[in-house]
Structure 1
Amino acid sequence: MTMLQASRVDLRVIGEPRLLSGLDHGRADRHRHLSTHGAQPDLTRADYTKLAEAVGLRGRGGAAFPVALKLADLPAKGIEAVVVNGSESEPVSRKDRLLLTLAPHLVLDGATGLARALGAPHVLIAVHDAEAAMSIREALMERDDGLAIEVRDTPGRFVAGEARAVLSVLEGGLAVPPGRRVLPTRKGYHRRPTFLSNVETFAQLAVLARLGSKRFSSTGLISEPGTQLLTVDGAVQRPGVIETPIGVPLEAVMQFSGAAAGPVLLGGYHGRWLPHSGGVVLKRPDVSSGIILALGTDSCPLGEVHRVSQWLASQSAGQCGPCVFGLAALVDDFDRLVKGDPSGWHDAERHLGLVPGRGACAHPDGSARFLASALEVFGEDVRLHLSSGSCGRHVKGVLPVPRGAW
């Protein structure tokens, strides 16, 4: 396995760089972008659909929805906008912000090329990070795409990154997902058909358009070729963003990052726990958000999970009972469990069966998945806390949680 390391400590590559190509010395302006990737080809809607279908391209956000199916769901005419969701509000993830900041032209190529192919007059880029927004605005001054392109600032709260919450903000509303679950391809921006995906998806489209399906498929899995961006953090010596072939072993990424042995969280704070990194390959949808967190063995796992549960509850949109009351109840359950109260464990098991599938958005479901996975993987720690009131380890704050969030 070829391993290359860029000059930036937070930007590394296993194998051949694609999305991160040419970024060894920092942000790529228009000239360096074109010298690295070449000119952007002018493709039709049918071309994009055929390419996305040929390589099985999936969205690089939480849902990992096939891009070809999303394109097929759009009507033949009347598409209002292409929306780039850069509201990367998961506190650990850095991959989309890195692309917007260092490779803005690659993202813009994917978005504008698709907009022209779809006949969409608007490209909207929703960003909550000030540095990323500035980078995109500077890049737009270097281009003339013949489209109405706007960069819109969005809040940084967790649920504000959900697709329907982003659309609400773009229309001047609150940054919360509405109760109705209607696909943006049917009713998106201004309730008209819209293609919406996250930042990395558009960068991948730009690479796919240039390479074609055969060259794009020269790395990765047969079932899902190409590369992926991963944010690695927690108990690691070299945290940051890594580009890897899809299907790379998790253990290789952990070793490359200098991770401590122990449990691993895949998919961020709506993801699932693994007892160790062995025997797992990294592909969608298991690692759809591209987040990998190493816990190590020195910190109290249940205490770490309880800290995150408090943050998750603080991020509620306040729209439904499962989110407002269900997550608050789970915070209390885990607090009592960590202190050795058996009722905390019993109540957590009961509440985790009541929360999923009843919320106005995916936040309650994802939070419940994270907590239920913790109870399963950290079963021995649960027994120690219930029998002795502690597992013998202090909470060191290995899992990143924004300060002042709760």
Structure 2
Amino acid sequence: MPHRAWAVAAVTFVTIVGAAAFRSLPGLLIDPLHQEFHWSRGTIGLAVSVNLALYGLTAPFAAALMDRFGIRRIVAAALVVISLGSGLTVWMNAAWQLVLCWGLLVGLGTGSMALAFAATVTNRWFTARRGLVTGILTAASASGQLIFLPVLSWLVEHHGWRPAAVTVTLASFAVVPFVWLLLRDHPADVGLRPYGAPAFVPKPPPLPGAGRRALAVLASAVRTGPFWLLAGSFAICGASTNGLVQTHFVPAAHDHGMPVTTAASLLAVIGLFDVAGTIASGWFTDRFDARRLLALYYAFRGISLLFLPVLLGPAVHPPMLFFIIFYGLDWVATVPPTLALCREHYGEDSAIVFGWVLASHQVGAALVAYLGGAARDTFGSYDVVWYGAGALCAAAALMALVIRRGRSAPAPA
């Protein structure tokens, strides 16, 4: 009989898929909101940037709150907040309301559902196969994109953006019962040892002062060199994925005459290959030097982005499909080795440290979500942003190579 840890991982996967429904929406709404409300793309990008920044900045506090109040309570509450924020956008008529609902509420909710949630589940329930499980749970976000992007793009094109927002609301809320009934905080709650552990592990007592603990872990981590290299490279990761491609690929392709539904379908295909790439990355992380893996991932991503401006056009040609497949395999393949390096250097605090590293990822994403829209308003195209992101990825590859090995690093294969 399979270990209960795999059932918990499955519920976590479905939960992240539900939360990812909203993350499929922003890039589809830039043009409709611009046309209906006459807001600039920079203004809309600001709301997206607030969402992305809070998605990251909430994560370390959410990881600490899970230690205090339990995974199930925090995740269920986060899903309700996501539903509330996306549902309220239906009645907005001013830009500040977009920032409040789309930026603040959904940013806080998705931040509590961020990859620190996956890290907490993996750390508690698994001793063996952590890299593989991290890859699978990371791929859940891409799976949500794969499932919802074609549906949402069709709704936006044929019925407007409001039905799409309502769909996201219902999808997020529908996951709440699964979380409450099936998710458990720790293997000891059901009398089991973590998967692969040689002995039973008692459930640790709740840790008070979640906010203080998150800040204390940060204060300790910032005094170490690996933290800055991991945070800096992961900021570039966020800038070149969530901030740039997820937010601006659809409007950029539409600028070149590509139909919105076609561009959204290409993003969904990126999500399909991201699932394979991230799970494979988790498998590689269990076996190879995480620093070298990161350097390869960032270098390949940068090269692909440098070619994108010449590939965009009104129709989908084989070179564009090659970019989609290549980029999709690399989308969040960086997560398993980054989390592994956090474990090597920070041990029991690794989930919270990873939450802060993820915060840098989202700050990078937030800056480019805004700057990408501002660049489109200023230059009339996104080309300068693609080239800039390619150069940043080269810098991230170099940063990954100079991270020193941790004391608990596994022997390289």
Q: TM-score, normalised by structure 1?
A: 0.27
**Higher Cα radius of gyration:** 1
Higher relative contact order (CA 8 A, sep 6+): 2
Q: TM-score, normalised by structure 2?
A: 0.26
